[in-house]
Amino acid sequence: MDKTKKIGVLLGGSSSEREVSLRSGAALLAAYQRLGYPAVAIDTQSGRDLPGQLLQQGIEVAVIALHGPLGEDGTVQGLLEVMQIPYTGSGVTASANCMNKVLSKRLFQAAGVATPAWEELRIRAGAPLSDAQRSHLHEAWQDTPLFVKPVSAGSSVGICRVADLTALENALQAAAAAAAQPGEEADILLEQEVVGREITLAVLDEETLPLIEIKPVSGFFDYQNKYTPGRTRYLIPTESLSESEIQRATATGLAAGKALGCRGLYRVDMIVDQQGTAWALEINTIPGQTETSLAPKAALAHGLSFDALAERILAGARLDPCCVHK
C-alpha cells in the first residue's frame, strides 16, 4: 500500500457495539501509525457528517473498524462506493447479507452449507405475544433448547439461550429491546441449539487461519464472555477436534464465506457436533481487533503479528467490482 495515501480508520458509530468498535479502531490506528502510514480516526457516530469528514480530511482509503448496524451492514460501504473511496472488508451486498442472520441462513441452505434449524419471528418490542404466536411457538419449539437472536446485530448483543418455553417470551422481548425501540417491530431469529464444540474460522484474503476452539468458563459465548478477559478460554490448536474434523470444518467455513460473497478478513462461527459435522452459525465481516478478539489470535498463531495483520487488512482495500465507476 502506498504510504502517501491518507487513511481514515472508521470507528465508533452509533450502534450498541460502539465501545467495541472504538477499541478495535484505536488498535488499528496505532498499528498504522507505528508502520508510518498517514492515518487518522474518523468517528462515524453522526453519520450525517461522515461525507464531510472524509472530504475535509482528504481520506483516500478507508479502513472500516465499525461493528453492527450502520457500519457493518453495507450502508457505509455503499457510501464509500458512491464517494469512490476504496475500503477494507466485504462489499455492499456481502456485508448486508452477513448482517442479516435470516438472509445468511437462506444463502447457507441454498449453497448446501449445514446450518441449525431456524425460524424468523416478527414481534413488537415491549408488547406481549399474540395468542396465535404463543400457540405456534408451543407447537414448534416445545422442549427444544434454542437460541433467540436479533436478526441484525453482532457481538452476541441481545442473544439468549432458552431451555424451555417458559423463558421464551422474556428472551424474545430482550432480543426485541436490543433491536428496536418500544412499540417498533423487531425481526427475531429462533435457532435450534446444536450441542458440540464451538469454533471459529478466520479467513484472510481467501487464506484460512488456524481454527480456534471457544470454551467459556461458564454459560455460552455471550457479550460478557466475549469481551471480558479471563471469562473464556481460546484453544489454538483446538483441543477436541480430529484432523479430519478440522478439515471438514475448514471446508464448511470457506463454503459459507463463498456463499455470502465475503472478502478480505472475515470470521465464520460454527458448532461441531458429536458426529463431526460443522454447522455454520453466522459470519462476521468486520472481526474485532481488541485484546480479546479472535481474528488477531488466529493471525498470531499463523505467524502474523498484529501490525502485519493490520497491514494485510489495509492492502485489501478496494471498491466493489460489481459497481461501475467512471
- Looking at the annotation, which residues are catalytic? 17, 155, 227, 267, 269, 282, 284, 288
CA atoms within 13 A on the CB side of 270: 32
For residue 181, the tally of other CB atoms under 10 A from its CB is 10
Do the Cβ atoms of 138 and 214 come closer than 8 Å? no
Element (H, E) at 9: strand 7-11
- Tell me how far apart the alpha carbons of residues 83 and 241 are, in angstroms, rounded to a whole number: 46
Q: 78-104: buried (b, 16+ CB within 10 Å) or exposed (e) per residue?
A: bbbbeeebbbbbbbbebbbbbbbbbeb
- Tell me how far apart the alpha carbons of residues 180 and 150 are, in angstroms, rounded to a whole number: 9
Query: What cell does 10 get?
Result: 472508521
